[in-house]
A and B are shown apart, each in its own frame.
Chain A
Amino acid sequence: MRLLSDPLPLRVAADLPRYRTEAAARVLPWVYGRVTLSPVPLDDAGLEWLVADHPVVAVEAVRSAGKAIEGWQLVQRLDETGRAIATVRLTRAPEAELAVQVVGRRDDTSGALLEHPAAIAADLLRRCGWSPAADAFQGLRDDFPALALGMVFAERDTRVRAAIAQVIEPLGAVWVADPPTARRRAIGVPMATLMVLNVERISAEATAGELATVARAAFGYDWATGGARQAVTVSAPDAVQSYGRLEVELDMGAVRTARDALAIAQARLAMIARPGWTLRATVDAYLAIAPGDTVAVDHPRVPAGSALVLSTARDRGRGTLDLVAWMPAGSAPRIEMTQRAQAVDAARPDDSVTFRDGVATFTISDPAGNPLAGAAVTLDGQETRETDALGRVQFGTERGAHSLSVYMSGYSPFDLEVVV
């Protein structure tokens, strides 16, 4: 069994008997959920490309230079070492960078696609020799019942702990590895009360550096290009008034939909847009408190309230328990969305941007890829036009970077950063 501090047992191309020399150091990826990634070439002719170091549910598309190509086949086979891999075989070598849209790993038992964070985290532990129970990380299923992530693990020396953290922590959740539990980082029902009778020592600290009043959450990561495709910005207007505009970046690249990204960003900003106390206490060891529990605080030295336990250290020799907990101060702030942004460039699929004779044609689509007809589109904050039935809108403009602001009934306004 691997320790949390050990690396994931990821292989590199050089571990295969046959690989393309210049790709020797490429990590063979583990793929969860629906993602777009850059495959690993297996032969010099460029006809076979590894998409995952395990079987996958499907390959949905293969693109070269942003254009969907024909003449490919998903092959799930054993490599020469006897390990199952997923590759795409092409009828002819691609002329440019290849990107593959993959639906990743299945659950070994149920056959279901592993895309929920609880399922992904449990599978990572399983791949590292752990035996998580069927209800491992159940709290995540309760707190995020319909959430689907898309993730690729293809970084050499990714530690098991870091891998689990990549799955769980961007959601604003806290977790424990043994037994595997996790839940949204939020105040719950107190399990115990810290008071003069059971507290040996207590202190509380609040710092301005932990405050943020505006959060930009990048999501929809594209592993082929190495960047998030979309972003949503939320703000706490009352907190902005009190503390100023304090911006923070939230990396939630594995989140795929704007709806999920917005919900998570709002919950996370609500936690940091008001002051919070970090409590440090030494209490009687008989208190049954574990990380993730909520405790009530009723001690004259610190403010009263409910606190979320972040860590504990039990000293059996002294009969004490040291704990660190977090307690919000004041009322929960109001959070609102201020901006949605989507990155688009001319190299992207589906001809999102074309340019001919000084006229740029943009195709505006929703996150599912359906064209938005009748949307009002403003170019560089100056000229506004409406999209046609195919979601297309044209502007006379010059080549270069431009911004498009899109307004459509039923959708939150969003901005597109485009390169013509």
Chain B
Amino acid sequence: MSMTLRVETVPPVVFAVLDAGPQRAAINGEVPSVSVVLDNARGEAAARLAVPPLRARAVLLIDDVAVFTGSVQAVTLADVATLSLEG
């Protein structure tokens, strides 16, 4: 199983995904959301996300099938990079 994240900036960028958190959804107005974890051990994500793609549309794909589409609400960089997406 391969997971990728396509962020639809201009031009679009594609990241290999280490892990994706639970896809959350609830009634009463809470929007669906998911956290996507990227490798940042060598700082590759930090360099590519130097200007964070906030509010950009992003698609999480598993084996090239889109499983979640949302906009980037937050980016956190540390040992790993975490992008929070909201549907």
Contacts and interface: CB of A to CB of B under 8 A. Distances in A.
Q: Do A and B come from one complex?
A: yes
B55 A300 contact: no
Contacts of A302: 46, 77
Identify whether the interface residues of B are mostly helix, strand, loop, or mixed: loop
A206 B74 contact: yes
Contacts, number: 59
Interface string B47-87: 10111101100000000000000011111111100000000
A203 B74 CA distance: 13
Interface residues of A, number: 22
Nearest to B78: A203
B74 A244 contact: no
B55 A243 contact: yes
A303 interface: yes
B47 A303 contact: yes
A244 B40 contact: no
B78 to A, nearest CB: 4
Interface residues of B, number: 20
Nearest to A274: B51
A10 interface: no
Contacts of A242: 55
B78 A329 contact: no
Contacts of B42: 300
14 contacts: A204-B78, A205-B75, A205-B77, A206-B74, A243-B55, A244-B55, A275-B52, A300-B43, A301-B40, A301-B77, A302-B77, A303-B49, A329-B50, A329-B51
Interface of A: 202-209, 211, 242-244, 275, 277, 300-305, 329-330
Given A205-B74, A275-B51, A277-B52, 6 more contacts: A204-B46, A211-B54, A303-B49, A303-B77, A305-B50, A330-B51
